[in-house]
Structure 1
Amino acid sequence: MLYRKMPKVKEPLSILGFGCMRLPVKDNGKIDRPRAIAQIRHAIDNGVNYLDTAWPYHGGDSERLVGEVLQDGYRDKAFAATKLPSWMVKSRGHMDEFLDQQCLNLGIDPIDFYLVHNLAGPMWERLKGMDVLDFIDQARQSGRIRYAGFSFHGRIDDFKTIVDDYDWDFCQIQYNYLDEYHQAGTEGLMYAAQKHLGVIVMEPLRGGNLGIPQPPPEVARIWENAMESRTPVEWALRWVWDHPEVTMVLSGMNEEAHVAENLNIASSAFPNSLTLEEKNLVTQAAETYRRLMAVNCTGCEYCKPCPEGVNISGAFEILNKLHLFKNEPEARFMYAVRCGDIFSGGQMGYASQCIQCGECLDKCPQGIAIPDMLEQVVADLEDDKTLERLAMGKKMLNM
């Protein structure tokens, strides 16, 4: 495992952090606790020393799971990071209530890294009006948190404003080779580094889309031109780690194979190690993906819950796979099963259930016109045989 330092943080941090938003789950949708704990502790035993969670992950259970991971001596081996749920805060006192409960959920005091979650310009102004700056100051001074930061989904101008508004220790941005000029992007990365903030990167695989083992043929041909053979995951992670301004990459690892591959890559991903030819190949891959993808969704699921139960991110993921791989029968079957009632406790989640209420629009960090794109999902993936495919899926699963 390689380590890097944040300018304002004493301890070195592993360049790979364990993201706890997409942990392995059982058929009922609950976290598979023994498996998740084993995966995370295996990563810690192999050098990972940063666990990232948040109040809403896994319906509030992720923080408690991380607390269980940190028992049995693991508290001395890893740092815990969680986040103030900005959109839920109603007052200055409410912020303290959240923090107190999060300390209980995690079973630790202080919390090592504490972030104001999912900021953009309007949300930041709202929180400042409720005296969030005093909250952060008091949380630090009282010893309830050690390092203060924020996670960001918004415009670059708003990012710079937030950076300048407080003496932050670090920030967390979405960054990958498709988002070089999106949200904070490279400009934000450099700006934060110039202000001596550590930078943690989320969505390095863009919701997993950049790490598909068998990428679209057009992208696969690009990687075949490389002097050194690498998996799509390695290309994506190494591109981010090649930036010396990046302290750490968060990876949502929910398969043992994911953990093993990520650990292996993190043992040799030095900054400034990609050649010019390799960087050019990544640029070509990015241009190709942008041309092929139907919708700019990362699978972050901030759009949930949908009042009508639409599985928005699942529908968009399958729409993109249809456009990337052109396998219509497989895509229609996957859509029928994935967005049916099998894995959602009996709740159908098809795009045709959308009533155009628009509640999702303000929640989407990518600014996607979600209702409009759901209409395309209906056109491309739903037909009069959707329920027949769902029934077939249930039969295959012995349901």
Structure 2
Amino acid sequence: MLYRKMPMNGDELSILGFGCMRLASKEDGSIDEERATRQVRDAIDQGVNYVDTAWPYHMGASEPFLGRALADGYREKVKIATKLPSWLIEKREDMDHYLNAQLEKLNTDHIDYYLIHALVGDLWDTVEKLGVADFLDKAKADGRIINAGFSFHGASEDFNRIVDAYDWDFCQIQYNYLDEKNQAGKAGLEYAASKDLGVIIMEPLRGGSLTKTVPQAVEEIWDEAPIKRTPAEWALRWVWNHPEVTVVLSGMSEEAHVEENLRIAGEAHPDSLTKEEMQLVKRVENKYRELMKVECTGCQYCMPCPAGVNIPLCFEMYNNLYLEGDPDTVRFMYAARVGGAVGTGGEEFASLCVQCGQCLEKCPQHIDIPNVLDSVVNELEGSDLEQRAAMAREMFKQV
């Protein structure tokens, strides 16, 4: 395992952090606690010392899970990061209420790295007026938190002013080879580093979209490389190639993912990719931009939908329609997965959308979700949807 130093305090942090937003889960969506605990502890045993969770992850179950997973001496081996649910704050007292509840959920007396969660410009203005600086100062003074930071999902023009608004220790931004100009982007990464902030990276694989479905046109570009790497390794090495990056979070839910990421994290030094390799990644980026219809990362912030639409799954299938080159299979799998033949059993079609707009303010990517769902309906549903759904239910009933 390679380690990088947190500029403000000198902590030597593993360059790979374990993200607890997409833990191993059972068919009903609940955390597979035995398996996820084993994965978390295995990663820690192999050098990971930064574990990230938050109040809403897994519908509130992630923090209590982590508190249990870090029993038996594992708490002392790691730095815990969790986040104040900023969108729920209505008054100054709420901040202490949530922090104290998180300490109890995590079964600890302090949070090593505490973030104000999912900031955009307007939300920062709100919590700033409610006294978040005073809250952070006092929580640091009394030892409930050690380091203060924020995670960011806003427009690039708001990032620098939030960095400058408080004496932060670190920040967390979305960054991957498709997001150099999205949200904080490369400019934000460099600005934060210039202020000696540690930088934690989320969504290095864009919610798995850079690895789950790799179009043939993209595979052909990767195959040109003299050194053969998986798409996940290319994406992670590209982020770790930036010396400004301190930790990269990966939401690992499969044992094979844990092992692959640990291997890469033992080799991925900054500035280690060649000029030719960086050009290859750029070509892959350009090819993805040609193919993708919606830039959803699957973060689930838009969920639950009050009308019952599975928005991330609808968008995943919509992208697959253009990435996989097999429209009949994708339309069948849309009917199967979104129609309930595979999964929880309930219908979650895009056509259930009632255009309420609640998802719009929640989306970190600022996607016009209702309009894109209209496109999903037009291209993936159609008059034979129920027939496809019935066939899928019959097929998967026999599996």
TM-score (norm 2): 0.97
Match of 1:325 in 2: 324
Instruction: Choose 10-19 or 115-124, whichever is displaced more.
Output: 10-19
Alignment of 1:29-178 (within 5 A): 29-178=29-178
Task: Flag structure 1 segments of 5+ consecutive residues without an equivalent.
Answer: none
Match of 2:284 in 1: 285
1:249 corresponding residue in structure 2: 248
**Does the aligned pair in 2 maintain the 1:242–1:272 contact within 8 Å?**
yes
User: Cα offset for 1:344?
Assistant: 6.5
Supply the AA of the counterpart residue of 1:87: W
| Residue 342 (structure 1) shift | 5.0
> For 1:150-188, what per-residue CA distance to the aligned partner results, in whole angstroms no more than 9, with x for missing partners?
000011221101100001110000000000111100000
Task: Tell me which moved more, 175-184 or 217-226.
Answer: 217-226
Deviations 1:346-381 (A, max 9, x none): 542110011112111111111111111101101111
Go from structure 1 to structure 2 and tell me whether the alpha carbon gap of 1:122 and 1:240 turns closer, same or farther (over 3 Å shift). same
2:284 is the alignment partner of 1:272: no
2-side partners of 1:87 and 1:342: how far apart? 35
Counterpart-to-counterpart distance in 1, 2:342 and 2:117: 28
In 2, are the aligned partners of 1:29 and 1:343 still within 8 Å (CA)? Answer: no
CA distance 1:343–1:106, change in 2 (3 Å) = farther
| Corresponding position of 1:27 | 27
Residues 178-217 of structure 1 aligned to structure 2 (within 5 Å): 178-212=178-212, 215-217=214-216
Which residue of 2 is the match for residue 311 of structure 1?
310
Take 1:148 and 1:199, find their aligned partners in 2: how far apart are those partners?
12
Q: Distance in 1 between matches of 2:340 and 2:348?
A: 7
Partner residue, 1:229:
228
* Bigger shift: residues 312-321 or 380-389: 380-389
Please give the alpha-carbon distance, in whole angstroms, between the structure 2 residues aligned to 1:370 and 1:116.
Answer: 25
What is the CA–CA distance in structure 1 between the aligned matches of 2:389 and 2:206, rounded to whole Å?
A: 28
* Post-superposition CA distance 1:84-132 (Å, at most 9, x none): 0111111110111100100010001111111000001000001111111
Between the aligned partners of 2:27 and 2:319, the Cα distance in structure 1 is 25
Partner of 2:393: 394
Contact 2:360–2:369 (8 Å) recurs in 1: yes
The question of whether the paired residues in 1 share the 8 Å contact of 2:331 and 2:380 is answered with yes
Aligned ranges for residues 355-370 of structure 1 at < 5 Å?
A: 355-370=354-369
Q: 2: distance between equivalents of 1:242 and 1:126?
A: 36
Distance in 2 separating the partners of 1:23 and 1:120:
26
Deviation at 1:222, TM superposition (A): 1.2
Letter in 2 for 1:190: E
CA–CA separation in structure 2 for the residues paired with 1:342 and 1:172? 37
Q: Aligned pair count?
A: 398
Deviation at 1:396, TM superposition (A): 3.8
Describe the SS at the equivalent of 1:268. Answer: coil
Distance 1:269 1:90 in 2: 43
Whole-Å separation in 2 of the counterparts to 1:33 and 1:139: 31
Q: CA RMSD in A?
A: 1.3
**Offset at 1:302?**
1.1
Query: For structure 1, which segment, 70-79 or 389-398, has the greater mean C-alpha deviation from structure 2 after superposition?
Result: 389-398
| Mapped partners of 1:190, 1:69: distance in 2 | 35
Relative distance call for 1:343 and 1:163 in structure 2 (3 A) is farther
Distance, in Å, in 1 between the alignment partners of 2:139 and 2:340 is 43
1:283 deviates by: 0.6
Return the alpha-carbon distance in structure 2 between the equivalents of residues 134 and 342 of structure 1. 51
5 Å-filtered alignment, 1:332-371, equals: 332-342=331-341, 345-371=344-370
Give the CA deviation at 1:324. Answer: 0.9
Q: In the aligned structure 1, how far is the partner of 2:294 from the partner of 2:105? A: 36
CA distance in 2, matches of 1:105, 1:343: 32
SS at match of 2:359: coil
Paired with 1:71 and 1:391, the residues of 2 have a C-alpha distance of 46
Q: Matched residues in 2 for 1:199 and 1:332: separation?
A: 40
Partners of 1:194 and 1:286 in 2: CA distance: 27
Match of 2:376 in 1: 377
What residue identity is the alignment partner of 1:181? K
CA distance in 2, matches of 1:35, 1:56: 21
User: Residue 216 and residue 343 in structure 1: after superposition, are their counterparts in 2 closer, same or farther (change >3 A)?
Assistant: closer
Q: Which amino acid aligns with 1:185?
A: G
| Offset from partner CA, 1:242-297 (integer Å, 9 cap, x none) | 00000011001101111111111111000000000000011111011011000111
SS in 2 for 1:98: helix
Whether the 8 Å CA contact 1:315–1:350 is kept in 2: the answer is yes
Q: Answer whether contact 2:111 2:145 (CA < 8 A) is retained.
A: yes
Q: Residues 111 and 144 of structure 1 are in contact (CA less than 8 Å); yes or no, is this contact kept in structure 2? A: yes
1:28·1:343 contact (CA, 8 Å) conserved in 2? no
1:157 maps to amino acid: E
* Aligned-residue offset at 1:343: 6.2
The answer to whether the aligner puts 1:239 opposite 2:242 as a matched pair is no
